[in-house]
């Protein structure tokens, strides 16, 4: 009979195979995109936690897109493009600044950030336009080819579950600030910092301050300035990446090397900073405002951008109250991490960046000293001057010689190549600094000068020299725990035609947040109420600020400044 001519199982099997074959073919683009996401995970993540967060972020993005457009191929395409863009931006940022993108970069988008990106990468807007056009075309093609639809309920359930798990993992295993300076884990780092930043913003805001109001807000108010004597010009020198390497027994240094780190009184003084191996703006914030970067928690890497337009207390502002003309000589783009806006808020009236100084690249220290001398010659009759001068000769990288013709007699000491170049550059800095002192004395014999210089952080290679037995991650962890070995540089006080008035605060082992207090008292500038209150904290805490009483003193002081109107909107 005809009913037995074709076996039902064969017919059903063939139909089943054909149907699933068709479905698999239709899903092939989505499968390829998910495989590409897996390849991105494997090539960029370096830990189990990072891989888990990447997967959760991938699921969350896909489910969010599915809830909006329901098409799995288009959802995977958009998700992959977002994560690829994040990875490329992080690599680009690390190549330029030795930092990767974190969520705070998205939370705080200002005009300076856009200006900085376009300044260092002028063709960026065309690449963005090209990428956007390609993305639109790819989405249009995927939209037409994708015949599958995913239900809204399933998509929302997947999004909620993955988002909840991502937040839980991020808060249980938080990132450290030092991870922003590691060239890896771009997606997981961004996702985890997002959870951390939103949590901190909701629980305490940008700035960690004691619950207010303060008992005596007037104790931080600005007071009148009536100096008892003629005030000296003040030069604050930012000595990039510099500290005394003679502290490392395995490093060979030239004869007389450590004399560069001594003050006018022959003393060597140690400075505790709040960053290691890169964040110059941490110490810039410390020495201009007298505050702690650690008070900003997860937002610390963006501290100058946050402080711009909000923190109106600091050394240059107090000096302005006392008749000083305030200048900053900055060796990079003024839009970098909001430097110009931050320094103007802190009291810098005249900000000169690399364009104003007439340079397109980093220069030896003598270049910036010459510009400072020119400025003093031009402006000294307008009253006392405050000059904040950045120097960058010791800045990384150290794999090539910077201006070798300036050290024709240099002889190798037998150190590793990067350490050798670093010490050679330090010798250039010491020579240039001696020339600065000589020129000030010779060209301005009737003018008084107070010069304070400091190392903003140790160079990147310092931890492995200080303790070669530590694993790669150990220095970062100890930095987060405020291990002084990795957070100690130097500061020194010098004077030309002037005797420092009071160096009592200039103790050996001082937090960088107290350096404005050292400058004011050494110059004989009357303290306002806020600096008088901070001097009392320094005396109680033996030179520690944020590290005193687990941050309690810093939180109380932040509240005083908020209630006095010197910190606004944070």
- Whether 531 and 441 map to the same domain: the answer is yes
* Adjacent-strand bridge partners of 352: 329
254 located within any domain: no
Question: What pLDDT is stored for residue 247 in this prediction?
Answer: 83
* Adjacent-strand bridge partners of 319: none
CB-based contact 202:542 (threshold 8 Å): no
- Whether 282 and 137 map to the same domain: the answer is no
Instruction: Please give the Cα distance from 538 to 465 (Å, whole number).
Output: 31
- Whether 178 and 241 map to the same domain: the answer is no
H or E element that contains 157: helix 152-172
Three-state DSSP at 108 gives coil
Pairing assessment for the beta strands 449-455 and 488-496 based on DSSP bridges: antiparallel
- Whether 460 and 320 map to the same domain: the answer is yes
Instruction: Please give the Cα distance from 250 to 241 (Å, whole number).
Output: 19
Q: How many CB atoms lie within 10 A of CB 508?
A: 12
217 located within any domain: no
Pairing assessment for the beta strands 510-511 and 449-455 based on DSSP bridges: unpaired
Question: What pLDDT is stored for residue 9 in this prediction?
Answer: 45
- Whether 193 and 289 map to the same domain: the answer is no
CB-based contact 269:497 (threshold 8 Å): no
Three-state DSSP at 514 gives helix
Work out the average pLDDT over 535-543: 95
Among 203, 225, 260, give the residue marking a domain's end.
Answer: 203
Compute the half-sphere exposure of residue 329: CA atoms within 13 Å on the CB side of its CA.
Answer: 30
Extended strands (E) in 305-382: 325-329, 350-352
Q: Which pLDDT band holds residue 500 (cuts at 50, 70, 90)? A: very high
Instruction: Please give the Cα distance from 333 to 343 (Å, whole number).
Output: 13
493 located within any domain: yes
- Give pLDDT tens digits for 397-416: 888 888 888 888 888 898 99
Question: What pLDDT is stored for residue 152 in this prediction?
Answer: 82
Among 203, 223, 253, give the residue marking a domain's end.
Answer: 203
What share of the chain has pLDDT > 70, as a percent?
83
Work out the average pLDDT over 542-560: 93
Question: What pLDDT is stored for residue 11 in this prediction?
Answer: 47
pLDDT at 503 over 90: yes
Instruction: Give the dihedral of Cα atoms 275, 281, 285, 286; nearest 10 deg.
Output: 30
- Whether 458 and 369 map to the same domain: the answer is yes
Pairing assessment for the beta strands 449-455 and 269-272 based on DSSP bridges: unpaired
Mean pLDDT, rounded, of the chain: 85
Question: What pLDDT is stored for residue 7 in this prediction?
Answer: 39
- Whether 438 and 558 map to the same domain: the answer is yes
Q: Answer whether the bond into residue 397 is a cis peptide, omega within 30°.
A: yes
Instruction: Please give the Cα distance from 340 to 560 (Å, whole number).
Output: 26
Work out the average pLDDT over 361-373: 93
List the Cα angle 421/427/430 in 5-degree steps.
Answer: 145
Question: What pLDDT is stored for residue 19 in this prediction?
Answer: 46
CB-based contact 101:86 (threshold 8 Å): yes
- Residues in contact with 82: Cβ distance below 8 Å, sequence separation at least 6, in sequence order: 61
- Whether 175 and 241 map to the same domain: the answer is no
Q: Which pLDDT band holds residue 219 (cuts at 50, 70, 90)? A: low
Token pair 């990795």: residue: 486
- Give pLDDT tens digits for 245-303: 988 888 999 999 999 999 999 999 999 999 877 789 999 999 999 999 999 988 888 89
208 located within any domain: no
Question: What pLDDT is stored for residue 144 in this prediction?
Answer: 66
Work out the average pLDDT over 370-384: 95
pLDDT at 225 over 70: yes
- Residues in contact with 50: Cβ distance below 8 Å, sequence separation at least 6, in sequence order: 185, 188, 189
- Residues in contact with 178: Cβ distance below 8 Å, sequence separation at least 6, in sequence order: 276, 476, 479, 480
In this structure, is the dihedral angle defined by the CA atoms of residues 247, 251, 257 and 261, taken in order, positive or negative?
negative
220 located within any domain: no
User: 22 versus 187: which is more confidently predicted?
Assistant: 187
pLDDT at 15 over 90: no
Instruction: Please give the Cα distance from 449 to 234 (Å, whole number).
Output: 6
Integer-rounded Cα radius of gyration of the chain:
29
Question: What pLDDT is stored for residue 141 in this prediction?
Answer: 67
| Total domains in the fold of the chain | 2
Q: How many CB atoms lie within 10 A of CB 479?
A: 22
- Give pLDDT tens digits for 191-204: 888 888 888 888 88
- Give pLDDT tens digits for 460-496: 888 888 877 665 444 455 455 567 888 999 999 999 9
pLDDT at 102 over 70: yes
- Whether 241 and 189 map to the same domain: the answer is no
- Whether 189 and 288 map to the same domain: the answer is no
pLDDT at 425 over 80: yes
CB-based contact 458:486 (threshold 8 Å): yes
Q: Which of 26-30, 68-72, 331-335, 449-453 has the lowest mean pLDDT?
A: 26-30
What's the whole-model pTM score? 0.83
Instruction: Please give the Cα distance from 542 to 215 (Å, whole number).
Output: 24
- Whether 48 and 159 map to the same domain: the answer is yes
How many angstroms from the chain centroid is the CA of residue 189?
Answer: 16
**What's the distance, Cα to Cα, between the start and end of the chain in Å?**
88
The domain that contains 449 carries what CATH number?
3.40.720.10
Q: Which pLDDT band holds residue 116 (cuts at 50, 70, 90)? A: low
265 located within any domain: no
Containing structural domain, residue 43 = 9-203
Question: What pLDDT is stored for residue 119 in this prediction?
Answer: 64
- Give pLDDT tens digits for 50-94: 899 999 999 999 999 888 878 888 888 888 888 988 888 888 777
266 located within any domain: no
Q: Answer whether the bond into residue 213 is a cis peptide, omega within 30°.
A: yes
- Whether 538 and 436 map to the same domain: the answer is yes
Instruction: Please give the Cα distance from 232 to 50 (Å, whole number).
Output: 54
**What are the strands of the beta sheet with 385-391, ordered from one edge?**
350-352, 325-329, 385-391, 233-239, 449-455, 488-496, 269-272, 510-511
67 located within any domain: yes
């Amino acid at each position: 009979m005809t009913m037995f001519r074709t076996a039902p199982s064969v017919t059903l099997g063939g139909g089943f195979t054909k149907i699933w074959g068709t479905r698999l073919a239709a899903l092939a683009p989505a499968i390829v995109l998910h495989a590409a996401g897996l390849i991105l995970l494997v090539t960029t993540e370096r830990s189990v936690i990072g891989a888990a967060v990447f997967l959760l972020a991938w699921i969350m993005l896909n489910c969010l897109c599915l809830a909006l457009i329901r098409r799995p191929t288009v959802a995977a395409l958009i998700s992959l493009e977002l994560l690829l863009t994040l990875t490329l931006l992080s690599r680009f940022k690390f190549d330029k600044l030795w930092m990767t993108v974190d969520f705070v970069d998205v939370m705080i988008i200002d005009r300076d950030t856009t200006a900085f990106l376009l300044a260092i990468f002028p063709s960026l807007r065309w690449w963005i336009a090209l990428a956007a056009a390609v993305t639109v075309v790819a989405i249009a093609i995927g939209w037409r080819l994708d015949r599958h639809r995913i239900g809204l309920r399933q998509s929302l359930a997947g999004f909620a579950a993955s988002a909840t798990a991502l937040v839980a993992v991020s808060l249980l295993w938080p990132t450290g600030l030092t991870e922003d300076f590691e060239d890896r884990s771009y997606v997981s780092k961004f996702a985890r910092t997002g959870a951390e930043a939103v949590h901190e913003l909701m629980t305490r805001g940008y700035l960690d301050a004691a619950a207010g109001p303060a008992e005596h807000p007037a104790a931080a108010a600005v007071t009148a300035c009536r100096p008892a004597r003629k005030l000296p010009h003040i030069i604050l020198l930012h000595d990039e990446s510099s500290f005394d390497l003679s502290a490392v027994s395995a490093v060979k240094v030239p004869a007389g090397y450590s004399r560069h780190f001594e003050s006018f009184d022959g003393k060597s003084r140690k400075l505790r900073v709040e960053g290691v191996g890169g964040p110059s703006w941490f110490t810039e914030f410390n020495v201009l405002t007298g505050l702690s970067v650690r008070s900003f928690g997860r937002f610390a890497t963006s501290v100058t951008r946050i402080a711009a337009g909000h923190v109106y207390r600091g050394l240059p502002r107090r000096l302005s109250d006392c008749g000083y003309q305030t200048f900053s000589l900055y060796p990079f783009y003024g839009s970098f991490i909001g430097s110009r806006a931050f320094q103007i808020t802190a009291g810098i009236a005249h900000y000169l960046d690399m364009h104003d100084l007439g340079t397109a690249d980093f220069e030896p220290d003598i270049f910036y000293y010459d510009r400072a001398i020119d400025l003093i010659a031009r402006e000294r009759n307008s009253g006392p001057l405050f000059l904040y001068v950045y120097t960058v000769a010791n800045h990384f990288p150290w794999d090539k010689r910077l201006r070798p013709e300036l050290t024709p007699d240099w002889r190798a000491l037998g150190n590793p190549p990067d350490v050798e170049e670093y010490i050679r550059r330090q010798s250039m800095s010491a020579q240039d600094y001696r020339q600065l002192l000589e020129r000030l004395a010779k060209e301005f014999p009737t003018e008084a000068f107070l010069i304070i210089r400091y190392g903003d952080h140790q160079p990147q290679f310092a931890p492995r020299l200080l303790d070669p037995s530590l694993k790669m991650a150990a220095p970062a962890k100890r930095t987060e725990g405020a291990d002084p070995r990795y957070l100690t540089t130097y500061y020194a006080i010098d004077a030309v035609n002037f005797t420092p008035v009071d160096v009592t605060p200039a103790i050996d082992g001082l937090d960088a947040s107290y350096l404005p207090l050292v400058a004011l008292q050494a110059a004989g500038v009357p303290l306002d109420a806020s600096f008088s209150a901070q001097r009392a904290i320094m005396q109680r805490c033996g030179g520690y600020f944020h590290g005193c009483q687990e941050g309690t003193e810093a939180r109380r002081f932040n509240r005083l400044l908020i209630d006095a109107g010197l910190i606004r909107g944070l």
